[in-house]
Amino acid sequence: MILWQVLPTLGLVNQIFIPTPTTILVEMWSLILDGTLQADLIISLYRVVMGFIIALLVGLSLGFLLGGFFKKFEKALNPLIQVLSQANPFTLFPVFIIFLGIGEISKILIIYWVSQWSIMTNTITGINNVDPIFIKLGKAIGLGKIDIFRKIIVPASLPTVFTGIRMGAVFSFFMLIGAEMMGTTSGLGYMIMQAQNVMQIPRMWVGIVVVALLGLLTNYLILWIEKQLVKGKEKISI
Amino acid sequence: MYYAYQRRIDIIVDNIEEKDEIDNQIDSFKNNNEFKIEIKNLKKSFKVKDKLNKNKEVELSVLDGVNLNIKSGEFLAILGPSGCGKSTLLDIIGGLSNQSDGEIFIDGKPVDGPGLNRGIVFQQYTLLPWKNTLENVAFPLENSFNKKKRIKIAKDYISLVGLSSFEDRYPHELSGGMKQRVAIARALAINPEILLMDEPFAAVDAQTRATLQEDLLKITEKYKKTVVFITHSIEEAVFLGDKIAIMSSEPSTIKEEIKIPISREFRIIKDFKSSTEFLRLRNKTLGILKEEVIKSQEISKSSFPNEEILTEEGI
Ligand SMILES: Nc1ncnc2c1ncn2[C@@H]1O[C@H](COP(=O)(O)OP(=O)(O)OP(=O)(O)O)[C@@H](O)[C@H]1O
Ligand SMILES: [Mg+2]
């Protein structure tokens, strides 16, 4: 941070391309004053939150269903899931736009589409990696299928599930910016893109910083939720 | 002084032995049909991949006609070479896997799946990592008692295994021995008539082990549990068991049953372990087991070293 402030000030780094934090703050303040930052922020948040929530709902339910109850189906489907999740998201843009136009829906859906895979696959992996001895224990104390799933499989796979959720959040932001750089006139991605086109470098950086902060914040929020839900996890540091 | 004590114990032991023999005869008259667990010609085989042809499945016969009768309130210790099928047998008694052939009865009824009349302590650690000690012990009670009652019962059993000050700890914060004690408390909490225990003390040091053995003997005596207890330690088997069953190497049967003709009361006296009777029983058991271990190594040339089984607890 200090380096960031000092280097451009001393002229060691080109101030035009990498402005100092103070320049960015000043620019940010002026954008807040005229209301454009809030407007872009709100529309972006709307898109990313919607997309991510749909991804959560679909990814988690498909993941738990496929991993928990339809193992054979999951095995058959696995290659397809792999292919779909590996597909380059940017090549998917045109497809989405053709089918859904360039409205809000297509942006939300593309965020959802890209984010769901890590959530789904991590959920499936988490379930597959539950130690069978825990399931044996569940049977031994007389639990039925649903109880074993609810009381053993779900909590046991939760740490891996949360890894997937955090990855999904990262993808959501990534796709948000991507989607907003194409065919839209609002949002943080558009703001970054637009500022870059007209060489308003400080404004571009405001956009980047805000997105980065949002991403960080989301990550911490998810970590916090995870901490409330996942108990007794050993903290190992290397 | 020591020898005087030793002689006294041995005299007691001799007397008990005589009395016990009479008891046995009476038992065999009246108790013919009152076994808690009856195992008749039980067989179990697994489908495994063929060593040579990976695509082919072959039958691996593990249990090959096991016969065992366990009386109500009896403490049966099972010894046998590693891999002979002890855990497999316990799983079947617990209703967690099905036999391939043969019959198994509990209270005269064929075993059909698991049930709360059997509490199991597994060979592996099975505490749920996301639950603390109290929650783990209360876990099997969730469908039978309300929360308040569950917690009360769990607390009682945790204190029984001496872990009251660790109620809030999570499994990763407990030592291996503590974890097994929690698992024992959990198995006891459902108040089962039968306890199935698979090497529960394997992970604890000799001193703790001795304490746990005594506690277990007292608890099972007090609550009149029928116990099937698997162990690799001959001393443990002789100390705990009313009867020891020695399994042969796989495909296994029960090779021999040894009655321990000494009441639990006297076994709990610490010096039973240094009495000559104890040594005699231990050596007898060791002799039979040694044959089997050697045989099992000849069969499988497994990596399992002779000493591991035979030198435990300094034999
Ligand atoms: N699910 C399974 N599928 C295939 N083979 C199995 C299975 N479970 C056990 N076996 C085999 O059955 C044999 C007996 O296993 P088991 O776990 O009952 O041995 P054990 O007597 O408990 O050994 P240890 O003293 O080492 O715990 C072994 O050869 C093992 O490889
Ligand atoms: Mg075993």
Q: Which residues line ligand 1 at a C-beta cut-off of 6 Å?
A: B 46, 48, 60, 62, 80, 82-88, 123
Over residues B101-127, mean pLDDT: 92
Per-residue confidence (pLDDT) for residue B270, from 0 to 100:
67
Range of the structural domain that residue B71 is part of: 33-117+192-315
Report the chain A residue with the minimal C-alpha distance to residue B93: A140
- Asked if A216 has any chain B CB less than 8 Å from its own CB, the reply is no
Size of interface A-B (CB pairs under 8 A): 59
Q: What percent of chain A has pLDDT over 90?
A: 30
Cis peptide before B251 (omega within 30 of 0): yes
Contact A133 B126 (CB under 8 A): yes
Chain A residues within an 8 Å CB radius of B114: 139-142
Instruction: Of B193, B206, B44, give the one whose Cα is nearest residue B120.
Output: B193
Q: How far is A169 from chain B (nearest CA, A)?
A: 25
Write out pLDDT tens, residues A117-165: 999 999 999 999 999 999 999 999 999 989 999 999 999 999 999 999 9
Specify if A10 maps to a domain: no
Q: What percent of chain A has pLDDT over 70?
A: 92
CA-nearest residue for atom 25, ligand 1, is: B82
Q: What percent of chain B has pLDDT over 90?
A: 46
Chain B residues within an 8 Å CB radius of A230: 130
Per-residue confidence (pLDDT) for residue A238, from 0 to 100:
66
Range of the structural domain that residue A140 is part of: 20-228
Q: Is the pLDDT of residue B21 over 70?
A: no
Q: How is residue B163 written in tokens?
A: 């872990």
CA-nearest residue for atom 5, ligand 1, is: B46
Counting Cα atoms < 13 Å in the Cβ hemisphere of B235 gives 20
B80/B246 Cα distance (integer angstroms): 6
Give the residue with greater pLDDT, B8 vs B72. Answer: B72
Ligand 2 centroid distance, CA of B164 (Å): 29
Contact B170 A156 (CB under 8 A): no
pTM, entire model: 0.80
Under the banding of pLDDT at 50, 70 and 90, the label for residue B86 is very high
Q: What percent of chain B has pLDDT over 70?
A: 84
Specify if B181 maps to a domain: no
Report yes or no for ipTM above 0.90: no
Under the banding of pLDDT at 50, 70 and 90, the label for residue A13 is low
Specify if A158 maps to a domain: yes
Report the chain A residue with the minimal C-alpha distance to residue B125: A133
Q: Is the pLDDT of residue B84 over 80?
A: yes
Specify if B308 maps to a domain: yes
Over residues B78-105, mean pLDDT: 93
Specify if B147 maps to a domain: no
Specify if A122 maps to a domain: yes
A50/A58 Cα distance (integer angstroms): 12
Write out pLDDT tens, residues B260-312: 888 888 888 767 888 888 888 888 888 888 887 787 777 665 444 444 444 44
Query: Which atom of ligand 1 is nearest the CA belonging to B86?
Result: 21
How would you label A42-52 residue by residue, b for 16+ Cβ within 10 Å and e otherwise? ebbeebbebbb
Q: Are A47 and A103 in contact (CB under 8 A)?
A: no
Over residues A29-52, mean pLDDT: 86
3-class DSSP state for residue B31? coil
Contact A155 B118 (CB under 8 A): no
Over residues A49-75, mean pLDDT: 87
Specify if B159 maps to a domain: no
Specify if A236 maps to a domain: no
Identify the CATH number of the domain in which residue A124 sits. Answer: 1.10.3720.10
Per-residue confidence (pLDDT) for residue A199, from 0 to 100:
80
Pairing of strands B226-230, B194-198: parallel
Per-residue confidence (pLDDT) for residue A236, from 0 to 100:
67
Q: Is the pLDDT of residue B6 over 70?
A: no
Give the residue with greater pLDDT, B267 vs B131. Answer: B131
- Asked if A135 has any chain B CB less than 8 Å from its own CB, the reply is no
- Asked if A84 has any chain B CB less than 8 Å from its own CB, the reply is no
Give the residue with greater pLDDT, B123 vs A15. Answer: B123
pLDDT averaged over every residue in chain B: 82
Under the banding of pLDDT at 50, 70 and 90, the label for residue B131 is very high
Q: Is the pLDDT of residue B238 over 50?
A: yes
Write out pLDDT tens, residues B150-188: 999 999 999 988 899 999 999 999 988 889 899 999 999
Over residues B231-241, mean pLDDT: 92
Chain B residues within an 8 Å CB radius of A130: none
**A89-103, A122-136, A154-168, A219-233 — which is least confidently predicted?**
A89-103
3-class DSSP state for residue B36? strand
DSSP B21: H
Over residues A81-99, mean pLDDT: 74
Specify if B280 maps to a domain: yes
Over residues A199-211, mean pLDDT: 86
Specify if B144 maps to a domain: no
Contact A232 B170 (CB under 8 A): yes
Identify the CATH number of the domain in which residue B294 sits. Answer: 3.40.50.300
Count of structural domains within chain B:
1
Query: Which atom of ligand 1 is nearest the CA belonging to B48?
Result: 4
Ligand 2 centroid distance, CA of B301 (Å): 18
Contact B172 A234 (CB under 8 A): yes
Per-residue confidence (pLDDT) for residue A138, from 0 to 100:
95
Over residues A197-201, mean pLDDT: 82
Give the residue with greater pLDDT, B148 vs B289. Answer: B148
Q: How far are the Cα atoms of A11, A12, A189 from residue A16, in angstroms, in the given order?
A: 10, 12, 20
Specify if A4 maps to a domain: no
Specify if B252 maps to a domain: yes
Report the chain B residue with the minimal C-alpha distance to residue A151: B139
Specify if A183 maps to a domain: yes
The interface residues of chain A toward chain B in range 149-168, judged by CB-CB distance below 8 A, are 151-152, 155-156, 158
pLDDT averaged over every residue in chain A: 84
Chain A residues within an 8 Å CB radius of B120: 137, 140
Contact B140 A141 (CB under 8 A): yes
Ligand 2 centroid distance, CA of B249 (Å): 13
Facing residues of A163 across strands? Answer: none
Q: Is the pLDDT of residue B138 over 90?
A: yes
Count of structural domains within chain A:
1
Identify residues of B whose CB sits under 8 angstroms from chain A CBs: 94-96, 113-116, 118, 120, 122, 124, 126, 128-132, 139-140, 142-143, 170-172, 190
Nearest-by-Cβ selection for A139 from B114, B124, B171: B114
Per-residue confidence (pLDDT) for residue A12, from 0 to 100:
65
Under the banding of pLDDT at 50, 70 and 90, the label for residue A205 is confident
Query: Which atom of ligand 1 is nearest the CA belonging to B232?
Result: 25
Q: Is the pLDDT of residue B18 over 80?
A: no
